[in-house]
Amino acid sequence: MHCVVTGGNVKVLAKAIHSLSRIGDELYVEPQEDGLALRSVNSSRSAYACFLFAPLFFSRYSVPNRNNFRCKMAIKSVQAVFRSLASLEKTVEKCHIELDEQKNRLTFTLHCKHGLLKTHNLSFQDSESLQAVFDKDSCSNVFRAQPRLLVDTVMHFPPSLEEVTVSVSDERMWVRNHVEEEAEQSKAMLTELCLASDEFDHFAIQAHSSVTFCLKELRGLLVFAESTGLPVSIYFDEPGSPVVLSVTDSVLEGNFVLATLTDDPGLRKNSSRRGHTQPPPPPDDFMNDDMDSYLIAMDTSIVPGPSTAGPPTPPLAGSTCSKRPVATNHRTRIHSEEEEEGEEEGDSEKAEDSDRPPNKKFRSLFFGSVLPPSSQMNTQPVVSQEVLASDSEDDSQDE
């Protein structure tokens, strides 16, 4: 692999790496025919980010001879290459990224002004491809906004805040901070921001829904979006299915996939008792049999699916059926400015949803080692959903 990045694009690349560093500790590098993919995932596998830089982004781009080369490395060491963003723009004229196959090193060479040459040799580990399974085009709610709007929105929330809830109606979007427990709620300051649809470049609602996700990763993407001035698109469906944030222009695409909270405190209580027991990996048709996918699969089985059919799998959630009453009088803060209204609506909806396995935290995302990326991406969601739902069924038998 040999890529050359010149001029302002060096900064774009550096910003992308910085925003990926908000997600996870490792950077997955995969030179593909259609461009260089940089990816990262957080330790709980509830957030995933990917930047794809098209060959045109580079002034020179060649993929390695050895096909499907992939590697991962500590993101901190890559960040160190682009440490000072401010001076980067002024001093660096071009950046070479080369793979030294003999020494197993990935070499970043920065050509600076006055003939200064900075070379970083980074060691790496082989890895499988990291790919979250998501389909943003099927999402019912789609928005696009200038980064400034989102930056101004996020600004109202304290840096310590972990999660925000986004609710939408036909003409408005509400963003509020998410407070976990009732007890905390009486102490915590609640902030709510209401945005009108015409502040967005694009505002398409099919379902009035409300999702809760981590603010940290959104902030990470905004760092990138703001510096490049690219509009941010937001795609989401219902609580529990991931929200996708993306930036696109002709030579690059960035997608951040964030798990959302199932806003279901009745059930949540239930799962907290279970603690962090790792559910066993789902059956083999789920994923390929490599290390990464195994880890991912472990997490994935927390993910409840809507379907109840499927082969029985080991315990997770006894709660789902028996706890139905709990679920019906829980607090929901769903799509409404009038809380009372929201509660009623939420309840009636949730009665059905209570069939889902309990969930303390975010539903993890579906990941796979996608060797044949396109085909698997399409089939996977279906498979995994079945598997997951069966988890919960089995659980009830267990208790």
CB-based contacts of 215, cutoff 8 Å, min separation 6: 154, 157, 161, 162, 163, 164
Report DSSP letters for 299-323, one per residue. Answer: HHTT---S---S-------SHHHHT
H helix or E strand, kind and range, residue 388: helix 373-398
Find residue 248's DSSP bridge partners: 253
Instruction: Name the minimum Å distance from CB 304 to another protein.
Output: 28
- From the CB of 344, what's the least distance to another protein, in Å? 17
Residues ≥6 apart with Cβ < 8 Å to 393: 308, 310, 312, 320
Phi, psi of 220 (to 5 degrees): -60, -45
CB closer to another protein out of 72 and 176: 176
Residue 222 C-beta: closest distance to another protein, Å: 16
Most distant pair of Cα atoms in the chain: their distance: 72
Which uninterrupted H or E stretch holds 215?
A: helix 215-228
What is the residue type of 156?
H
Cα dihedral 295/296/301/307 (nearest 10):
-150
In the complex, the smallest distance separating the C-beta of residue 53 from another protein, rounded to whole angstroms, is: 32
Nearer to another protein, 158 or 372 (CB): 158
Quick one: 195 or 334, whose CB is closer to another protein? Answer: 195
Neighbours of 246 (CB within 10 A): 21
Tokens of 131: 């790919």
The smaller minimum CB distance to another protein, of residues 25 and 192, is found at 192
Least distance to another protein from the beta carbon of 182, Å?
8
d(CA 365, CA 227): 28
Query: Closer CB to another protein, residue 10 or residue 234?
Result: 234
Nearer to another protein, 193 or 205 (CB): 193
Q: Which long-range CB contacts under 8 A does 293-301 form with residues at least 24 apart?
A: 293/128, 293/367, 293/368, 293/369, 295/45, 296/45, 296/364, 296/366, 296/367, 296/368, 299/44, 299/45, 299/364, 300/45, 300/364, 300/365, 300/366, 300/367, 300/384, 300/388, 301/387, 301/388, 301/391
Contact residues for another protein, defined by CB under 8 A: 152, 155-156, 158, 185-196, 198-199, 339
Whole-angstrom distance, CA of residue 53 vs CA of residue 192: 36
Cβ proximity to another protein, 194 vs 371, nearer residue: 194
> Which residue type, as a one-letter code, is found at position 14?
A
Name the residue nearer to another protein (CB basis): 140 or 197: 197
Please name the amino acid found at residue 68: N
User: Residue 193 Cβ, how far from another protein at the closest point, in Å?
Assistant: 5
Identify which of residues 171 and 352 has a Cβ nearer to another protein in the complex.
171
Shortest reach from residue 191's CB to another protein, in Å: 5
| CB of 138 or CB of 191, closer to another protein | 191
